Every structure is written in C-alpha cells, then in structure tokens.
Amino acid sequence: MSDNLIWDKFIDFAYKKKEEHKWLFPAEISKDVFRQMFEFHCHHKNLHIVKNGDDWSFVVFRPIKHAFDVDFNWEQPDSNLYLLDFLYSKCKYATLELWNMFCNRGVKPSSILYYRRGEPKPFTPKLVLKFFRSALIKE
C-alpha cells in the first residue's frame, strides 16, 4: 500500500473522529485545512501515530511560547514548553506507546501542558501513572 494511500486513510479516520468528538477539535475547519494542519505537524515531528488493526491512535505535542499561547498559527516556535494539543486513543497501551515515542525525544513530562476546564495544567508523571494504572492491572 502506498504511503499516500495510508496517509489519506489516516486523514479520513482523524477527520471522522473530529466530527464525532467536538471536544477533540473544537474549531470548525474544512477537511483540506485539517489535512494541512496534520501535514504541518507531521513535518515538524509533532504528530505521533500508532495503528492497531483498523483503528488509529494519534497525538500532537507541539511547542508553544508560553502557557496561554494555544492557538495554532502555522509557526513552529523554538521552545522547551509543549502543549498536549490533542490525543485520540481507544487503547491505553497505544496511548502509552505514543507517550514513549514522544518521551524518547528527550522532553521532560514537566515541560508538557494540557488544558482542563480552560486552565493550563502540567502533564506530570503522577498523572501518566494514574491514567495507565487501571489498564496495566486489568490487562
């Protein structure tokens, strides 16, 4: 299967999830702009993807200038602060694999922020352990 066909299938899947889960991608954007954003993130190595059967898991960690600089603006700032921009995974192990991919880049979890109820929060190792604890015990 060609890389373009695989990429097209991934974009179709991700855009479908955008339509199903408005909280995942709150902005109303066209599929073409959505594709361009993902291509931008892929080019800058912000996009991490795991495929499991017909299902995909993906995450975007992108550098930001400061904690309240969360709007996407087609720039890749040089920064040691990252935003967990979005994450989609139905499998906690796939999410853990995505996390490991990102951590292999040498980024400390304490330099990653995510937004909860409109407030920036640090993505701490304790939060990661809490997220995965139930999956590790059950499976």
Task: Domain of residue 69: give its range.
Answer: 3-138
Structural domains in the chain (count) = 1
Spatial CB neighbours of 134, under 8 Å, sequence gap ≥ 6: 92
* Single pTM value for the model: 0.78
Share of the chain above pLDDT 90, in %: 17
Instruction: Write the CATH number for 134.
Output: 3.40.630
Give 25-42 pLDDT, tens digit per residue.
767 889 999 999 999 999
pLDDT surpasses 70 at 133: no
* Interatomic CA distance for residues 106 and 12, integer angstroms: 31
* Interatomic CA distance for residues 123 and 106, integer angstroms: 15
Give 41-62 pLDDT, tens digit per residue.
999 999 989 887 778 888 888 9
Per-residue pLDDT averaged across 103-123, rounded?
Answer: 76
Per-residue pLDDT averaged across 67-87, rounded?
Answer: 84
